[in-house]
Amino acid sequence: ETGEDCTSGQVGELWIRGPHVSPGYADNPEATASSFVEGWLHTGDLALADDEGCVTIVGRSKDMIISGGENIYPAEIESAMAAHPAVAEAALIGVPDERWGEVGRAFVVLRPHASIWDSNSGRKLDSGADLPADMAKLVEAEILHFLRQRLAKYKIPKSLYVVPVLPRTAAGKIDKRALAEMS
């Protein structure tokens, strides 16, 4: 935001310039003016660099969720959800919240016939194609429990839904606008 370099481990927007970067958007002076400043392309990608200068993309600025003044990067939470052995795919969106401004809402697709242990009942649940509502709630609770062991409290989604499939854009990316409409 300020145009200053980030320190090692600090997240900031990735700016690039050089002979291989386009000078602007064809026939779109407004987009060029908003994305290019003094020859720098403001990519919209959020990144951090380590002490050796290696850059890691952590998300997109437009996807960042600000909850209670804390920045939440959906890619980090999605990666943590995908680490659960029963989760095939995961997505996180921000939804309005009266208290926090915005909170995370998660959507997961389960692996076919993945087993999940319900610590409350001592039962092993099979993800199957169509989970009854009571079992879906148990699966959702188990995944949230898994996340609580791996993420800071403010990063835990306030809600999580098991869905059969995540909607996709024509380009094959997860359609987060469609997820917001499903909410």
Q: What's the pLDDT tens digit per position in 93-135? A: 999 999 999 999 999 998 887 777 666 666 666 655 556 666 7
- Tell me the C-alpha distance between 7 and 4, whole Å: 9
- Tell me the C-alpha distance between 71 and 154, whole Å: 9
CATH of 12-61, one of 3.20.20.70, 2.30.38.10, 3.30.470.20, 1.10.1270.20: 2.30.38.10
Per-residue pLDDT, averaged over 156-179, amounts to 93
Reported pTM: 0.74
Architecture, CATH, for domain 64-182: 2-Layer Sandwich (3.30)
Render pLDDT for 58-72 as a digit per residue (tens, 0 to 9).
878 888 899 999 999
Q: Is the dihedral of CA 119, 122, 127, 133 positive or negative?
A: negative
DSSP category for residue 62:
G
Percentage of the chain beyond pLDDT 70 is 88
Q: What is the average pLDDT value for the chain, to the nearest integer? A: 87
